[in-house]
Every structure is written in structure tokens, then in C-alpha cells.
Amino acid sequence: MSAKESRLLSLLVVMILVSQPTTAAEELSGDDEFSDDSGPNPCRHELVSQGWLDRTHGWMSRTVCGPSRWVDGFFARPDDVYEDAAGTQLRIVGANRWQDNDDDSSEFNIRGKVELPNLQHRLSLVFDNENDRNDELRDGLDTRPEEVGQDDGGFRSALRWAANMPDRMNVDIDVGLRSELTTFVRARYRWFTPIGKSLWAFRFTQKGYWEDPEGFGSNSLFEFDRPVTLNTSFRFSSEYELTEENNELNRDWYFNQNARLYWQLGQRTGLSYSIGLDGYTDPVAAVENWRTSIRFRQSIWRPWFFWELEPYVYWPREFGYEGISGVVIRLEVQAGLPEWEPRSRPAASSG
């Protein structure tokens, strides 16, 4: 381990040791994730009546939505924040990557959201020490372990305005600055719904943006979720992006496809397996990278302290699809974020 990597891990350990300990009651107290203060809840289902048919349908909706919410919260990508939760949030993540071709690296990421007072959870300040637009637009659970340490050392900050929308629907707009004082504007629409009477659920996310000097772009993400057992869940993600920058490089559409299986191993432990690919449609339609990884994530010592181990293999086109393997270790400190405890599923009511 290099001196830089040692300092990175030591910094996170020191931050944990000097932080004020909290009582068990304080750790487990706080707003319920389904309370009214947390904003619109996509798992909430308005009942037309209290009859057995509507109550059974409401139970089915919660059964489909609940595992998806846990996956998004517990397995959030290291540079993401929990958009559905109100209040000030902060994530500090340090990571080291070791690769069999000696392309080792490390990174330190800080990302947060500060809710501005007296505005009914509608306006907040978001910031990140990563300047790459792709991290903001990408599928929220796509960790890309082979890219750890490839950040540009820049920053992004923005004012985010969230519109009041019906349940299962979100609209927000970011206006902000990047490194070198360049500006950007981004709008996002999200919609979540169960699929008929099946166990499948569908989520659609559409983003449009403008950045100086890259120009305009559009990103569409389609996600399909299904609980497999009481403790496992499957998700398929299909993402497409069209930008002025890619058109100038004769790349046309960017595509990214992923399939993931999640296991809830315990109250604070989870495991995910993913396989995916990405590429461009021009000048010839081709897959640029194939990748697969296993991600183990656990909350230890305190509810806000996590560690991760993610071994992976990827096959880049630029190296003739020759396999490159590696492993990433992450340490994470959270503040102001919801505790994603597993919740017992409500039984269907009769009568």
C-alpha cells in the first residue's frame, strides 16, 4: 500500500475515533422513513375504499416497492445522496483499488445536500468534489470499480429545487457551478409504478441538461425490479444518453445495460452481484466494456459507518476484450442519512 493510500485510510479511521459517540437510543431514534416529514413516498398507495380488494392491492404495491426502496438506500453508489430524504445529508467515502495490471489507485469523495430552511423541503444546496457529469447521470447503483481514482479533482455545487408532485413521481432542477467556474443546468423527472398485479415494478428517469462548454444532453434510464424471495431482489437497468459532445466525436448514442441480484444477509449486511456492458452506436455499434462484480457491504461499529469489498473483472474493447481483474475496498461515514433497516412486510388484510 502506498503512502497516499495509507494516509487516506488513516484519515477516515481518525475521523471515526474522534467523533462523539451516541447512545443506542439516539442511533435508533429519528423520523420513520415512511413518515410525512420525509416527503412523497413512492410506496404509499391511496386506497379508494377500505374493502378487501383495495386493501389487498395496496399490500401488493408495498410488497413490490419495499425491497426496491431498501436496495436503493443501502446500496447507493458511493458518490450519491438519498434524494428522497429531507434534511441535511453528508457522505464521506474513501476507496482503494488494486488491479492485476498494476493500475492501482485511490480516491476520496465528499458529497452532500444541505436543506435550506423555511422552504418546505423544496430548495437545497448540493455539492460534490467530483466534476464528472457521468457520475451524476449514471444509473444510481452502477459503482464502476475499475474507474476508482480516475476523478479529475474538480467540484460541482448547485441549488436544487424540488417540485411538489404526486406520490411515485419526482421533479427537480439543479443550477450550479463546476470547476473553473463553468455553469450547468439539469432537470430530472422520475416515475415509479408497480406493473399490473405482478411482482414487477418499473421506474423511469429522464434527465436533460446543459453544461458549459460541452453543450446539451439527454439521459433516459429504465429500471425493472422484482423481489425473488423474502431476502433477495432482482433489477434490470437500461440506460441511453445522447449529447452534443458525443455527436462531435461521432459516437452518437451511449448505452449501458446492467442486471443485478441483491441479497439482504442481515439487518446491516448486504451482497450484490452485477453483470453489465456499455458502448456507443457509432461509428460502429460496439460494446466498449463488459464487466462483472460482487459487492459486499456492511454497517459495523456504528449505524453510520460502512465498509465494502468489491472484487471485479472487466473486459475493455481497447485491449481486445482481455480480462482485467481487481478489488476495491471502501470505507464510508454518513451523517444525516436515513438508516435503511429492513422492515417486516405487512400481512394482507382480509375482510
Say how many CA atoms lie within 13 Å of 198 toward its Cβ: 10
What pLDDT, on the 0 to 100 scale, is given for residue 298?
A: 94
Distance CA 186, CA 175 (A): 7
SS3 string of 116-167? CCCCCCCEEEEEECCCCHHHHHCCCCCCCHHHCCCCCCCCEEEEEEECCCCC
Domains and CATH numbers, the chain: 3-335 (2.40.160.40)
* Joined grid coordinates for residue 271: 451482497
pLDDT digit string, tens, across residues 8-32: 444 444 343 433 333 333 333 333 3
Distance CA 81, CA 156 (A): 14
Nearest to 147 by CA among 197, 105, 94: 105
Report residue 129: phi and psi, to 5°: -90, 20
Which pTM was predicted? 0.74
Please check the confidence at residue 38 and state whether its pLDDT lies above 60.
no
pLDDT digit string, tens, across residues 231-285: 899 999 999 999 999 999 999 999 999 999 999 998 889 999 999 999 999 988 9
Distance CA 283, CA 263 (A): 39
* Residue appearing with cell numbers 455553469: 183
What pLDDT, on the 0 to 100 scale, is given for residue 154?
A: 78
CB-based contacts of 20, cutoff 8 Å, min separation 6? none
